[in-house]
Amino acid sequence: MHYRVQDPKGVAGFDLQGAELFEVKRKDLQKNQPMYETEANYKTESLTQIPSEVISAMGELRGKILARTVLPWSEHCTECVWPSCYSTCELYLPREDQRCRRFVDGMVRIECPSALNSYLLKIRFKRWGKLWTPGNVRMFPSEKAQRMERRDYHIGRTLHQLPLPIAVKQFATGKRYVFKKRMAQYRVAESELQSPTCFLLECYNPQDHTIRISLTMRSVDQYVKIPFQELIELTPGFHRVRISSDRISNVLDLRSPFNIEIIPNDVPDGTTLYFGITDFVQEAVTTTENSGKPREKTEKKVKCVVWDLDNTLWHGILVEDGPDKLRLKPGITELIQELDRHGVLHSIASKNNAEEALQTLKHFGLADYFLYPQISWQPKSHGIQEIARRLNVGIDTLLFIDDQQFELEQVTAIYPDVQLLKADDYPKLLQITECQAPATDESAGRRKMYQMEEERQVVAENFGQDYMGFLKHCDIQLTILPLRVQNLERVHELTQRTNQMNFSGNRYDREVLAKILSTPYLDTYVLDCSDRFGSYGVTGFCVVDAREPRMTDLMFSCRIQSKRVEHAFVRYIICKYIGELGRDFYANYRKTPRNAFSGRVFLDIGMKEVGVSDGVTSLIFSKGQQLADDGIVRIVLAEEPAVAV
C-alpha cells in the first residue's frame, strides 16, 4: 500500500510504502528543523491557564530579535541508553511511536500568538526526565524561523491524523525526527556561521516555590571534558534568562557539534514549567526607544539596585577628597543588607578609578554586596547594559540611583525601561513597591549563588584543558546514607534506569530491595551528589557483603560520569572496610560494552583481577596497598551504616 504525506501548504512531503520511508532531501530537512518533537507530541491546551501578565511578558521581545536558531528540543531521560532500556527498565512508558514518554503529558503545545515563536510548551516533568537538543548556532531570520516551526507543526499533525497502519506510522514518525535531529548536529560551515548575541530562555514557573534548573552545554567530543553549565533559579513567575554567547564560547566551541540539556533539580513528579523561546538569538542593538511620542512605563519588580558612589553611597568625591574623608550616608549599610536579605541584588555604575573605589568599598565592609561593579570613565549606560547582561536579567528590572540629573537623563535616554531614583531619596527604597519581596532562605542566598557562578565561570575559562583543576573548583559533595524505606523508591528507579555505570548489571525490583534492607550482613549505601551547578539527587547505590568483605553491587547515574565521584566512593569504601576489618577488599564487576569506559575506575584505584565466574570478574584490593586521594570530591556521612564483623 502506498501513502503520500504532504504538509497542508504543499511545501514538503515524503512517501510511505509499507514500512519504507523515502527520505526528504537534506536541503528540505534543513528547512524543517522543529522546536520540538511535533510527530510524537500532538496534545494542545488553552492559553487561559496562563496569567495575562505572563502572556504580555512573552511578547515583549517581538520585533527585537533579528535572527534565531530553531533547536529540535525533545524529551529525554538522564540515564538514556536507547534502545536497550526499553526492554530492561520497569519505568519504560511507550509513546505512540514506542519511544519512552519521559514527561507526564509529553510536550504540550499552547498557542500564544504574542510569543516570539507563537506558542508555549507546557512540560510536567517526571523524575529522570530532561529537556534535550543537539545544539547549533545556525541562525534564521525571525519571521522565517517562525514559518519553519509552523510548517513543521502542520506536517506533524497531518502525519498523526492520517489513517496509516500503526507500524507504518511508528516508522515514519521515528525516521522523520531522527533525520531532523541529524541535520541539527551537522557542523556549522564557516559560510553559515553567525554570531548570536546570547542563548535566550523564557520560562514561567507556576509553582509557589522556587525551582532550580541546571543548563548544560557539552561537546559531543568525549575528549572535550569541560562543559558550559549554569544553575538557574526560577522563583514563582516569569523569567527571561540571557546567557551571552561570549561566556559560552569561552568554554565551548559553538562551531562544533554539542548537546544542550535542561534538568530540574530534585523536583517531584508533575512539576510544571512553561517554556517560551529557548534558542540562540541575535538581538537588535538598543540605542534609544524615545520616538517623541508619550510612552507609558510599566514598572517591574526590581531585581538589582545599581548605585553611583560619589555623593550617593557616600558623602564626598573619592578622587578629590580621598578615601579617608569619605563617610557613608546614614543607614546605607543596613538598607543594603535588608534588601539583600529579601533577594534584591546590588551593583555599581560609577565614574571613578576602579581599583581605588573597590578598596574603599572593602574599607566600608560593603564590597561583597556588589555584583559585577562597573567602575570606569565610560557613560553609565554602558555599565547598566553590562550589569544586566552579566546578571542575565531584563534591563527593566534594574533601578539606578545617582545624585547627578545629567547621569539619570543619560541612562534613561538610552534605556528608558531602567527605573530611576534620586540619591537623596535612597531611604525610600524599602518602601518602593517594586522592591518588595518576601525574605526567605532562598532570597537570602541569591547573591551568593551569583557569586559562585561568577567564580565558576572564571575558573572554567582560566583552567582551559586542565580538567582536574576545574573539577577541584566545582565543590563536588557526595553525601552517603544507608538504604531506608524513605529512599527505597528512588533507589528502585535508579536501579531501573542506570546502564552505563552499572557495574553488576543487576536491576532490583522493590521486593528484592526490601529483602536487601532486612539482611543484616548486607551494608547498603545510597549516594546523593551535588556541586555548585546544582543537585543531582540520588546518583548511586552500593551493596557490600560485610562478611568477606565484597562489594556485590555498584551503580551510578551517568549525570556524574567523569566527575571522579566513582573514584572517591570506591576509595572511601575500600578504606572503610580494610580499616575496620583488617582484611583484603573484593568487588564484583560484570563487564559490558556500555560500562567499559566507566569500569576503568577499578584499574585507576589499583584493584586487580583474580578470576571470572559466570561472566562476573572478581577484583581485589590488598590491605597492604596504598590509596591516594585526589582531593576532588568531599564526602559527607549523613548516617553511618553499621558494619557487620
Whether residues 132 and 269 fall in one domain: yes
- In this predicted structure, what is the pLDDT of residue 164? 73
- Residue 407 pLDDT > 90: yes
Any idea which residue has 497531518 for its cell?
A: 158
End-to-end CA distance of the chain: 70
- In this predicted structure, what is the pLDDT of residue 292? 31
Give the count of domains, the chain: 3
DSSP state of 18: T
Closest residue by Cα to residue 285 from 66, 59, 69: 66
- In this predicted structure, what is the pLDDT of residue 314? 94
- In this predicted structure, what is the pLDDT of residue 27? 38
Higher pLDDT, 292 or 487: 487
Any idea which residue has 522543529 for its cell?
A: 34
Higher pLDDT, 439 or 428: 428
Q: Give the mean pLDDT of 573-600.
A: 91
Q: Give the mean pLDDT of 415-428.
A: 90
Residue 526 lies in a domain: yes
Boundaries of domain holding 317: 304-447
Residue 1 lies in a domain: no
Whether residues 483 and 366 fall in one domain: no
- In this predicted structure, what is the pLDDT of residue 585? 97
Closest residue by Cα to residue 567 from 593, 537, 529, 534: 529
Helices and strands per DSSP (H, E), number in the chain: 18, 31
- Residue 380 pLDDT > 80: yes
pLDDT tens digits, 524-552: 999 999 887 778 888 899 999 999 999 99
Closest residue by Cα to residue 275 from 116, 63, 64, 442: 116
pLDDT band at 174 (very low <50, low <70, confident <90, very high): low
Omega before residue 227 within 30° of 0, cis: no
Residue 605 lies in a domain: yes
- In this predicted structure, what is the pLDDT of residue 39? 54
Whether residues 55 and 153 fall in one domain: yes
- In this predicted structure, what is the pLDDT of residue 19? 34
- In this predicted structure, what is the pLDDT of residue 67? 92
Residue 412 lies in a domain: yes
> Could you give the C-alpha distances from 247 to 398, 466, 479, in angstroms and in order?
21, 18, 31
pLDDT tens digits, 313-354: 999 999 999 999 999 999 999 999 988 888 889 999 999 999
> Which pTM does this prediction carry?
0.60
Q: Which residue type is seen at 235?
A: T
pLDDT band at 377 (very low <50, low <70, confident <90, very high): very high
pLDDT band at 11 (very low <50, low <70, confident <90, very high): very low
Q: Which residue type is seen at 291?
A: S
How many whole angstroms separate alpha carbon 551 and alpha carbon 540?
A: 14
pLDDT tens digits, 71-103: 989 888 877 666 666 666 766 777 776 777 889
Q: Give the mean pLDDT of 282-297.
A: 46
Whether residues 443 and 530 fall in one domain: no
DSSP state of 435: G
Residue 27 lies in a domain: no
Burial (CB < 10 A; 0-12, 13-18, 19+), residue 301, is middle
- Residue 434 pLDDT > 70: no
- In this predicted structure, what is the pLDDT of residue 641? 45
- Residue 227 pLDDT > 80: yes
- In this predicted structure, what is the pLDDT of residue 438? 60
Any idea which residue has 577488599 for its cell?
A: 585
Q: Which residue type is seen at 105?
A: D
pLDDT band at 595 (very low <50, low <70, confident <90, very high): confident
* 250: helix, strand or coil: coil
DSSP sequence for 316-371: S-HHHH-GGG-EEPTTHHHHHHHHHHTT-EEEEEEES-HHHHHHHHHHTT-GGGBS
- In this predicted structure, what is the pLDDT of residue 443? 61
Per-residue burial over 399-413, b if 16 or more Cβ lie within 10 Å, else e, is bbbbbbeebbebbbe
Burial (CB < 10 A; 0-12, 13-18, 19+), residue 604, is middle
- Residue 425 pLDDT > 50: yes
Whether residues 93 and 229 fall in one domain: yes
Residue 493 lies in a domain: yes
Q: ∠ CA(77), CA(211), CA(392), 5° rounding? A: 100
Give the residue ranges of DSSP H helices in 45-165.
52-58, 85-88, 142-161
Give the number of residues written for the chain: 645
- In this predicted structure, what is the pLDDT of residue 437? 63
Cell of 597: 569506559
Percent over 90 (pLDDT), the chain? 44
Burial (CB < 10 A; 0-12, 13-18, 19+), residue 199, is buried
How many whole angstroms separate alpha carbon 495 and alpha carbon 557?
A: 9
Whether residues 273 and 317 fall in one domain: no
- CATH number, position 316: 3.40.50.1000
Contact 632, 516 (CB under 8 A): no
Give the DSSP H/E element, type plus range, for residue 354: helix 354-363
- CATH number, position 487: 3.40.630.30
Whether residues 154 and 269 fall in one domain: yes
Whether residues 520 and 576 fall in one domain: yes
Residue 376 lies in a domain: yes
**Crossing angle of helices 488-497/510-518, nearest 10°?**
120
Of 283, 316, 342, which one is at a domain's C-terminal end?
283
Q: Give the mean pLDDT of 22-34.
A: 37
**Crossing angle of helices 405-414/380-391, nearest 10°?**
60
Percent over 70 (pLDDT), the chain? 79
Whether residues 436 and 564 fall in one domain: no
Q: Give the mean pLDDT of 247-255.
A: 84
Residue 290 lies in a domain: no
Count CB neighbours of 30 within 10 A. 18
* 81 backbone dihedrals φ, ψ, rounded to 5°: -135, 55
Q: What rounded mean pLDDT belongs to the chain?
A: 81
- In this predicted structure, what is the pLDDT of residue 82? 62
C-alpha of 421 from chain center = 35
Q: Give the mean pLDDT of 247-259.
A: 86
Whether residues 252 and 313 fall in one domain: no
Whether residues 329 and 402 fall in one domain: yes
Mean pLDDT: which of 26-35, 80-89, 474-483 is highest?
474-483
Contact 360, 334 (CB under 8 A): no
Whether residues 277 and 323 fall in one domain: no
DSSP state of 558: G
Cell of 506: 543487576
How many whole angstroms separate alpha carbon 357 and alpha carbon 376?
A: 10
